[in-house]
Structure 1
Amino acid sequence: MVAIPAIADPTIDALRAAVEARAAAEEPRTYLGMSSIGRPCDRELWLTFRWAMPSPYSVDALWRFEDGHRSEEVMAARLRLVPGVHLRTVDPRTGQQFGFADLGGHFRGHCDGMVTGLLQAPKALHVWEGKATNEKKHADLIKLKQKVGEKNALHEWDYTYYAQAVMYMAYAEAPRHYLTCSSPGARAMVGVRTDANLDLARTLRDRAERIITAAEPPPKLSDNPGWYQCKMCQLYSLCHGRAMPAVNCRTCAHATPEMDGDGRWSCARRKRDITKAEQLKGCAGHRYIPKLIPFAEAVDADPVANWVEYRMPDGRTFRNGDPAANCYTSDELRVIDPAMIGDAGADLLRTAFDGRHV
Structure 2
Amino acid sequence: MDDALDFNHRPKEPTFADTLNVRIDAALVTENEDRAPRSYLGGSRLGDPCARRLQYEFLCLPRDPDGRFSGQSLRIFAVGHSLEDLAVEWLRKAGLDWRTRDRAGDQFGFSVAGGRVQGHIDGVIVATAIDMALPALWECKTANAKNWREIVKRGVVAAKPVYAAQIALYQAYMGLTDAPALFTAINKDTSELWHELVPFDGALAQACSDKAVRILQACDAGEWLPRIAAEPGHFECAFCAWKQRCWA
Aligned to 1:168: 170
Contact 1:79 1:87 in 2 (8 A): no
Of residues 228, 236, 240, the one that matches 1:221 is 228
Aligned to 1:12: 21
| Letter paired with 1:240 | W
1:91 correspondence with 2:98: no
Aligned to 2:193: 189
Give the aligned CA root-mean-square deviation in angstroms.
2.1
The structure with the largest alpha-carbon Rg is: 1
| Letter paired with 2:100 | T
Using a 3 Å threshold, how does the CA distance of structure 1 residues 43 and 201 change in structure 2: closer, same or farther?
A: same
Deviation per residue, 1:269-295 (Å, 9 max, x gap): xxxxxxxxxxxxxxxxxxxxxxxxxxx
Deviation per residue, 1:316-352 (Å, 9 max, x gap): xxxxxxxxxxxxxxxxxxxxxxxxxxxxxxxxxxxxx
Query: Residues 124-203 of structure 1 correspond to what in structure 2 (within 5 A)?
Result: 124-144=134-154, 153-174=155-176, 175=178, 176-184=180-188, 187-203=191-207
| Letter paired with 1:124 | L
Of residues 54, 58, 62, the one that matches 1:45 is 54
Of residues 201, 222, 237, the one that matches 1:230 is 237
Using a 3 Å threshold, how does the CA distance of structure 1 residues 240 and 76 change in structure 2: closer, same or farther?
A: same
Report the TM-score when normalising by structure 1.
0.60
Report the TM-score when normalising by structure 2.
0.85
> How far has the Cα of 1:180 moved from its partner?
0.9
> How far has the Cα of 1:231 moved from its partner?
0.7
Specify every segment of 5 or more residues in structure 1 that has no aligned partner in the other structure, as ranges.
145-152, 242-358
Using a 3 Å threshold, how does the CA distance of structure 1 residues 199 and 61 change in structure 2: closer, same or farther?
A: same
Distance, in Å, in 1 between the alignment partners of 2:100 and 2:11 is 46
> Number of aligned pairs?
229
> How far has the Cα of 1:6 moved from its partner?
5.8
Instruction: Work out which structure has the larger RCO, using CA pairs closer than 8 Å and 6 or more positions apart in sequence.
Output: 2
The 4+ residue runs of structure 1 with deviation greater than 3 A are 3-7, 116-123
Q: Aligned with 1:222: secondary structure?
A: coil
Specify every segment of 5 or more residues in structure 2 that has no aligned partner in the other structure, as ranges.
1-8
Greater fraction helix: 2
| Letter paired with 1:99 | G
Deviation per residue, 1:217-264 (Å, 9 max, x gap): 2121123011111011111111123xxxxxxxxxxxxxxxxxxxxxxx
Aligned to 1:36: 45
Contact 2:156 2:164 in 1 (8 A): yes
Deviation per residue, 1:114-166 (Å, 9 max, x gap): 0134455344221111111111111122222xxxxxxxx21111000000000
Q: Aligned with 2:27: secondary structure?
A: helix
Of residues 74, 82, 96, the one that matches 1:70 is 82
Deviation per residue, 1:177-196 (Å, 9 max, x gap): 11111112772111111011
Aligned to 1:322: none
Of residues 63, 72, 81, the one that matches 1:60 is 72
| Letter paired with 1:33 | G
Q: Aligned with 1:141: secondary structure?
A: helix
Using a 3 Å threshold, how does the CA distance of structure 1 residues 82 and 5 change in structure 2: closer, same or farther?
A: farther
Distance, in Å, in 1 between the alignment partners of 2:82 and 2:214 is 34
Distance, in Å, in 2 between the alignment partners of 1:32 and 1:102 is 10
Distance, in Å, in 2 between the alignment partners of 1:52 and 1:200 is 28
Deviation per residue, 1:55-92 (Å, 9 max, x gap): 83222322221111101100001011123x11211134
Q: Aligned with 1:80: secondary structure?
A: helix
Aligned to 1:251: none
